[in-house]
C-alpha cells in the first residue's frame, strides 16, 4: 500500500479505536524504554527510587489525565456511523498537541537535565499512556465480540 492509498484508506470505528490504543500503548512503551536505557547506566538503590517515582507518577497521570482524555476520545469515536480515514483516530487539534509533545520530549532528551531524573517523567508519562491505551483496546475487544 502506497502513501496515497494509505492517506485515503477508510475504516470503521472499531479499527480506529484499535489504532488509537496501539498508538497510545506503543508510545508508552517507547517512553518507558527510553527511561529504562537511561537507568541501566546507574547502579545501587537509587535506581529503584527512580523507578518507583516514575511508577507513582504514572498512576495519577493515567487516572486524572490520559484516562479521561482516552474516554472522551473513545466516546467521540463510538459516535461515528460511517467509515473514516485511518488518521481520524484523533482530532486535528490533537495532532498539533502531539507535535508539541514530541518537540518537548526531544528538547528534554537533549537538555542538561540528568537522565535519571528525566526517567521519572518518561516513565510516568509512558505508564500513563500505556494504561490508558489499554482502555482503547478493551473497547475494541468489546466491539469486536459484539459485532458480526
* Per-residue model confidence (pLDDT) at position 7: 67
82-122 confidence digits (pLDDT tens): 998 888 888 888 889 999 999 999 999 999 999 999 999 99
The SS3 call for residue 85 is: strand
Mapped onto helix, strand or coil, the DSSP state of residue 84 is strand
How far is 78 from 17, CA to CA, in rounded Å?
A: 8
118 phi, psi to nearest 5 deg: -65, -30
Is residue 44 predicted with pLDDT exceeding 80?
no
130, containing H or E segment = helix 115-146
Angle among Cα 95, 67, 124 to the nearest 5 degrees reads 85
Whether the CA torsion 126, 131, 135, 140 is positive or negative: it is positive
Per-chain mean pLDDT for the chain:
91
pLDDT tens-digit profile of 47-80?
899 999 999 999 999 999 999 999 999 999 999 9
* pLDDT for residue 6: 62
12-39: average pLDDT? 95
Prediction pTM value: 0.89
**Contacts of 8 by beta carbon, 8 Å cutoff, 6+ apart:** 85
Confidence of residue 1 (pLDDT cuts 50, 70, 90): low
Q: Which three cell numbers stand for residue 36?
A: 529504562
Amino acid at each position: 500500500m502506497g502513501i496515497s492509498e494509505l492517506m485515503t484508506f477508510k475504516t470503521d470505528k472499531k479499527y480506529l479505536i484499535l489504532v488509537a490504543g496501539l498508538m497510545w500503548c506503543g508510545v508508552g512503551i517507547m517512553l518507558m524504554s527510553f527511561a529504562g536505557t537511561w537507568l541501566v547506566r546507574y547502579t545501587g538503590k537509587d535506581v529503584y527510587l527512580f523507578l518507583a517515582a516514575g511508577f507513582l507518577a504514572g498512576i495519577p497521570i493515567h487516572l486524572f489525565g490520559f484516562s479521561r482524555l482516552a474516554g472522551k476520545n473513545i466516546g467521540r469515536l463510538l459516535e461515528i456511523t460511517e467509515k473514516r480515514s485511518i488518521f481520524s483516530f484523533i482530532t486535528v487539534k490533537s495532532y498539533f498537541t502531539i507535535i508539541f509533545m514530541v518537540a518537548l520530549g526531544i528538547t528534554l532528551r537533549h537538555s542538561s537535565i540528568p537522565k535519571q531524573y528525566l526517567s521519572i517523567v518518561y516513565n510516568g508519562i509512558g505508564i500513563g499512556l500505556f494504561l490508558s491505551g489499554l482502555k482503547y483496546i478493551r473497547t475494541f475487544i468489546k466491539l469486536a465480540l459484539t459485532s458480526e
